[in-house]
Amino acid sequence: WFMFLVFETFFMYLPYFNHNRYDMLLANIDVWLLGVYPTVWMEQWVRPWLTDVMYVVYFLYFPLPFLPLLTLYKRGKWFQLEGAFFSLLVCYYGGYTTYFFVPAMSPIYSLESMHRVPLEGVYFSEPIRGLIDFLEPNKLDVFPSLHTGILLTTMAITWGVSRRMFVWLLPLAAAILVSLVYCRYHYFIDIVAGAALSAASYLISQHLYRRYSTKFVPHFPAE
């Protein structure tokens, strides 16, 4: 609950910490890397049915981390479960900290004048978009992409839990990464930064947990 509260209240105090906005810097880095604005370039494939699919895929990110965690819980793998929780928390707080130094709002706002094709779906796009807007009053949560960071951390955890589950989730994970740009929530460089955050936080957190977990009172019963 504390982590959720921190995220939901960012919009209240982050502007006092850093009043700069780095959207155009991030957008220009995309152009430097790819030669195009990815969200504008991707408009050639926008279709109402595909927009619905992309929004559903984008939303499926939220329950995804629970799959490997619940599997570990059912198996009674308490040490591994606690380590997985720790890795996710390190990734979350690493991303939250970075928001203070690189506040940006997303291509939805910064590149609005360049977008010519509206993201209109058939059934699901509008309800999901409305729910996301309601649940995320903080709009300065672009760099790094925590969708990417937590997704890849979840996949790393899943690899250690079940290779079969990892293979089944791989297409969904790839689709989620595409949806970040398709739905215009992120710049490409956000995804790169999110991947770097995931790798760093996972390696560091696993090292710290293995080294120091025995020095603290465990949260779960002994295996």
What is the SS3 assignment for 116-159?
A: CCCCCCCCCHHHHHHHHHHHCCCCCCCCCCHHHHHHHHHHHHHH
User: Alpha carbon of 118 to those of 39, 46, 56, 146, 188: distances in Å?
Assistant: 11, 8, 17, 25, 20
Residue 182 CB neighbour total at 10 angstroms: 24
Mean of all residue pLDDT scores within the chain? 89
Note the pLDDT of residue 27. 97
Note the pLDDT of residue 39. 96
Q: What's the rounded Cα separation, in Å, for the pair 180 and 38?
A: 11
Note the pLDDT of residue 8. 55
Residue 5 CB neighbour total at 10 angstroms: 8
User: Is residue 132 within 8 Å of 59, Cβ to Cβ?
Assistant: yes
Note the pLDDT of residue 156. 97
pTM across the whole model: 0.89
Q: What is the DSSP string of 55-122?
A: HHHHHHTTTTTHHHHHHHHHHT-HHHHHHHHHHHHHHHHHHHHHHHHS----HHHHTTTT--S----S
Residue with token string 């807007």: 133
User: Alpha carbon of 202 to those of 10, 101, 170, 214: distances in Å?
Assistant: 24, 22, 18, 19
pLDDT tens track for 185-200? 999 999 999 999 999 9
pLDDT tens track for 84-106? 999 999 999 999 889 889 999 89
More confident residue, 78 or 15: 78
Q: What's the rounded Cα separation, in Å, for the pair 194 and 143?
A: 8
User: Is residue 185 within 8 Å of 61, Cβ to Cβ?
Assistant: no
